[in-house]
Protein backbone atom coordinates (compact mmCIF):
# COMPACT_ATOMS: atom_id res chain seq x y z
CA UNK A 1 0.00 0.00 0.00
CA UNK A 2 1.23 3.48 -0.85
CA UNK A 3 1.57 5.99 1.96
CA UNK A 4 1.00 9.54 0.73
CA UNK A 5 2.44 12.22 2.99
CA UNK A 6 0.88 15.64 2.39
CA UNK A 7 2.96 18.42 3.88
CA UNK A 8 0.82 21.14 5.43
CA UNK A 9 1.94 24.64 6.31
CA UNK A 10 0.33 28.01 6.99
CA UNK A 11 -1.13 29.72 3.88
CA UNK A 12 -1.28 26.38 2.06
CA UNK A 13 -2.96 26.93 -1.33
CA UNK A 14 -6.14 24.86 -0.89
CA UNK A 15 -7.02 24.56 -4.60
CA UNK A 16 -3.70 23.02 -5.55
CA UNK A 17 -4.42 19.87 -3.55
CA UNK A 18 -8.13 19.47 -4.23
CA UNK A 19 -8.10 17.21 -7.26
CA UNK A 20 -5.41 14.82 -6.13
CA UNK A 21 -6.25 14.39 -2.44
CA UNK A 22 -9.98 13.91 -3.05
CA UNK A 23 -9.42 11.18 -5.62
CA UNK A 24 -6.71 9.38 -3.69
CA UNK A 25 -8.60 9.49 -0.41
CA UNK A 26 -12.00 8.48 -1.81
CA UNK A 27 -10.74 5.86 -4.24
CA UNK A 28 -13.99 6.37 -6.12
CA UNK A 29 -12.47 5.82 -9.57
CA UNK A 30 -9.81 3.28 -8.62
CA UNK A 31 -9.51 0.33 -10.95
CA UNK A 32 -10.49 -3.13 -9.86
CA UNK A 33 -7.81 -4.63 -7.66
CA UNK A 34 -6.03 -1.33 -6.99
CA UNK A 35 -4.84 -1.00 -3.43
CA UNK A 36 -6.20 1.88 -1.41
CA UNK A 37 -3.65 4.46 -0.36
CA UNK A 38 -3.09 5.96 3.05
CA UNK A 39 -3.02 9.79 3.20
CA UNK A 40 -1.29 11.42 6.14
CA UNK A 41 -0.84 15.12 6.76
CA UNK A 42 2.63 15.97 8.02
CA UNK A 43 4.12 19.18 9.33
CA UNK A 44 7.08 20.69 11.16
CA UNK A 45 5.14 20.69 14.44
CA UNK A 46 1.85 19.54 15.96
CA UNK A 47 0.48 23.06 15.78
CA UNK A 48 -2.72 23.64 13.84
CA UNK A 49 -2.14 24.89 10.31
CA UNK A 50 -4.36 27.52 8.67
CA UNK A 51 -4.70 27.32 4.92
CA UNK A 52 -5.01 30.25 2.52
CA UNK A 53 -8.75 29.56 2.44
CA UNK A 54 -9.01 29.81 6.22
CA UNK A 55 -9.41 26.08 6.88
CA UNK A 56 -7.61 24.55 9.84
CA UNK A 57 -5.65 21.30 9.71
CA UNK A 58 -4.22 19.30 12.59
CA UNK A 59 -1.20 17.36 11.27
CA UNK A 60 -1.26 13.58 11.60
CA UNK A 61 2.48 13.22 12.02
CA UNK A 62 5.83 15.01 12.11
CA UNK A 63 8.58 15.11 9.51
CA UNK A 64 10.85 12.67 11.34
CA UNK A 65 8.05 10.10 11.44
CA UNK A 66 7.95 9.82 7.65
CA UNK A 67 9.35 6.67 6.03
CA UNK A 68 11.22 7.07 2.73
CA UNK A 69 10.68 3.97 0.61
CA UNK A 70 9.44 3.20 -2.90
CA UNK A 71 5.85 2.87 -1.67
CA UNK A 72 5.95 6.37 -0.17
CA UNK A 73 5.09 9.69 -1.77
CA UNK A 74 5.62 13.23 -0.50
CA UNK A 75 3.27 15.94 -1.75
CA UNK A 76 4.40 19.54 -1.27
CA UNK A 77 1.70 22.19 -1.92
CA UNK A 78 2.21 25.84 -2.65
CA UNK A 79 2.10 28.45 0.13
CA UNK A 80 3.36 31.94 0.86
CA UNK A 81 5.47 30.70 3.77
CA UNK A 82 8.02 28.43 2.11
CA UNK A 83 10.83 30.88 2.93
CA UNK A 84 10.42 30.09 6.64
CA UNK A 85 13.55 28.15 7.71
CA UNK A 86 11.43 25.65 9.63
CA UNK A 87 10.49 24.04 6.32
CA UNK A 88 14.09 23.17 5.52
CA UNK A 89 13.64 19.83 7.30
CA UNK A 90 10.96 18.62 4.90
CA UNK A 91 13.09 19.61 1.90
CA UNK A 92 15.92 17.50 3.28
CA UNK A 93 13.38 14.71 3.68
CA UNK A 94 12.41 15.26 0.03
CA UNK A 95 16.06 14.72 -0.91
CA UNK A 96 15.99 11.47 1.05
CA UNK A 97 12.79 10.40 -0.70
CA UNK A 98 14.22 11.02 -4.16
CA UNK A 99 17.41 9.13 -3.31
CA UNK A 100 15.37 6.18 -2.04
CA UNK A 101 13.28 6.04 -5.21
CA UNK A 102 10.21 7.45 -3.49
CA UNK A 103 8.14 10.10 -5.25
CA UNK A 104 8.18 13.82 -4.53
CA UNK A 105 5.43 16.01 -5.99
CA UNK A 106 5.78 19.79 -5.64
CA UNK A 107 3.64 22.62 -6.93
CA UNK A 108 3.99 26.41 -7.08
CA UNK A 109 5.85 27.81 -4.05
CA UNK A 110 7.09 24.38 -3.04
CA UNK A 111 9.18 24.25 -6.22
CA UNK A 112 11.15 27.27 -5.01
CA UNK A 113 12.14 25.34 -1.91
CA UNK A 114 13.35 22.41 -4.00
CA UNK A 115 15.17 24.78 -6.36
CA UNK A 116 16.86 26.57 -3.49
CA UNK A 117 18.42 23.30 -2.31
CA UNK A 118 19.63 22.25 -5.74
CA UNK A 119 17.09 19.45 -6.21
CA UNK A 120 15.98 20.84 -9.59
CA UNK A 121 19.43 21.59 -10.97
CA UNK A 122 19.80 18.35 -12.94
CA UNK A 123 16.23 17.17 -13.58
CA UNK A 124 13.40 18.25 -15.90
CA UNK A 125 10.94 20.37 -13.93
CA UNK A 126 8.55 23.28 -14.09
CA UNK A 127 7.12 26.01 -11.89
CA UNK A 128 5.55 29.44 -12.43
CA UNK A 129 8.34 30.32 -14.84
CA UNK A 130 12.15 30.18 -14.66
CA UNK A 131 12.17 33.82 -13.56
CA UNK A 132 9.96 32.89 -10.61
CA UNK A 133 12.49 30.33 -9.44
CA UNK A 134 15.39 32.73 -9.98
CA UNK A 135 13.60 35.44 -7.98
CA UNK A 136 12.72 33.31 -4.96
CA UNK A 137 15.63 30.84 -5.10
CA UNK A 138 18.87 32.78 -5.77
CA UNK A 139 20.89 29.56 -5.86
CA UNK A 140 18.78 28.03 -8.61
CA UNK A 141 20.93 26.60 -11.43
CA UNK A 142 18.46 24.39 -13.28
CA UNK A 143 17.43 26.75 -16.08
CA UNK A 144 18.43 24.37 -18.87
CA UNK A 145 16.20 21.67 -17.38
CA UNK A 146 13.17 23.96 -17.10
CA UNK A 147 10.17 22.81 -19.17
CA UNK A 148 7.49 25.34 -20.03
CA UNK A 149 4.48 23.14 -19.25
CA UNK A 150 1.81 23.28 -16.49
CA UNK A 151 3.17 20.09 -14.92
CA UNK A 152 6.21 17.91 -15.63
CA UNK A 153 6.79 14.32 -14.56
CA UNK A 154 10.37 13.04 -14.45
CA UNK A 155 10.25 9.53 -13.00
CA UNK A 156 9.74 10.04 -9.25
CA UNK A 157 9.76 13.86 -9.38
CA UNK A 158 6.55 15.64 -10.43
CA UNK A 159 6.49 19.45 -10.43
CA UNK A 160 3.87 22.00 -11.43
CA UNK A 161 3.06 25.69 -11.54
CA UNK A 162 0.12 27.15 -9.65
CA UNK A 163 -2.19 26.76 -12.68
CA UNK A 164 -1.16 23.14 -13.26
CA UNK A 165 -3.02 21.43 -10.41
CA UNK A 166 -5.24 19.30 -12.65
CA UNK A 167 -2.43 17.96 -14.85
CA UNK A 168 -0.27 17.52 -11.75
CA UNK A 169 -3.04 15.40 -10.20
CA UNK A 170 -3.28 13.34 -13.39
CA UNK A 171 0.46 12.66 -13.39
CA UNK A 172 0.45 11.71 -9.72
CA UNK A 173 -2.49 9.32 -10.22
CA UNK A 174 -0.76 7.85 -13.28
CA UNK A 175 2.45 7.34 -11.29
CA UNK A 176 0.52 5.47 -8.59
CA UNK A 177 -1.25 3.35 -11.25
CA UNK A 178 -4.57 3.31 -9.38
CA UNK A 179 -6.86 4.26 -12.32
CA UNK A 180 -7.44 2.38 -15.54
CA UNK A 181 -5.88 4.34 -18.38
CA UNK A 182 -9.27 5.04 -20.00
CA UNK A 183 -10.71 6.16 -16.66
CA UNK A 184 -7.83 8.56 -16.13
CA UNK A 185 -8.12 9.98 -19.64
CA UNK A 186 -11.89 10.56 -19.35
CA UNK A 187 -11.52 11.98 -15.82
CA UNK A 188 -8.86 14.44 -16.93
CA UNK A 189 -10.68 15.53 -20.07
CA UNK A 190 -13.95 16.05 -18.22
CA UNK A 191 -12.42 18.30 -15.58
CA UNK A 192 -10.27 20.02 -18.20
CA UNK A 193 -13.10 20.81 -20.61
CA UNK A 194 -16.38 20.33 -18.73
CA UNK A 195 -17.81 18.57 -21.79
CA UNK A 196 -20.54 16.06 -20.88
CA UNK A 197 -19.33 13.44 -23.33
CA UNK A 198 -16.26 12.92 -21.18
CA UNK A 199 -18.43 12.51 -18.09
CA UNK A 200 -20.36 9.74 -19.83
CA UNK A 201 -17.12 8.21 -21.06
CA UNK A 202 -15.88 8.24 -17.47
CA UNK A 203 -18.96 6.40 -16.19
CA UNK A 204 -18.57 3.74 -18.87
CA UNK A 205 -15.09 2.88 -17.63
CA UNK A 206 -16.42 2.03 -14.17
CA UNK A 207 -17.72 -1.39 -13.07
CA UNK A 208 -21.42 -2.04 -13.82
CA UNK A 209 -23.66 -0.74 -11.07
CA UNK A 210 -21.00 1.56 -9.70
CA UNK A 211 -22.25 4.89 -8.35
CA UNK A 212 -19.04 6.82 -7.75
CA UNK A 213 -19.47 9.93 -9.85
CA UNK A 214 -20.68 12.46 -7.30
Please tell me the predicted confidence (pLDDT) of residue 207. 76
Looking at the predicted structure, is the pLDDT value of residue 209 above 90? no
Closest CA to 143 of 168, 164, 115, 167: 115
On average, the pLDDT of the chain sits at 95
In angstroms, the CA 145 to CA 125 distance is 6
Report pLDDT digits (tens) over 88-118.
999 999 999 999 999 999 999 999 999 999 9
Catalytic residue among 108, 117, 162, 208: 108
Report pLDDT digits (tens) over 147-201.
999 999 999 999 999 999 999 999 999 999 999 999 999 999 999 999 999 999 9
Please tell me the predicted confidence (pLDDT) of residue 16. 98
61 is catalytic: no
Please tell me the predicted confidence (pLDDT) of residue 210. 52
In the chain, what are the domains?
2-179 (3.40.50.880), 180-213 (no CATH)
With bands split at pLDDT 50, 70 and 90, how would you rate the model's confidence at 138?
confident
Amino acid sequence: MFTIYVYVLDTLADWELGYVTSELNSGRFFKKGAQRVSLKTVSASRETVTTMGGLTIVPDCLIDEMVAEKTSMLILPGANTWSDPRHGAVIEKAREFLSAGAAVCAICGATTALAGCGLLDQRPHTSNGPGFLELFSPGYKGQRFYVDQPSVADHNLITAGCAGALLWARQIIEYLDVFQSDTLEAWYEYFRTGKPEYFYALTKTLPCGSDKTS
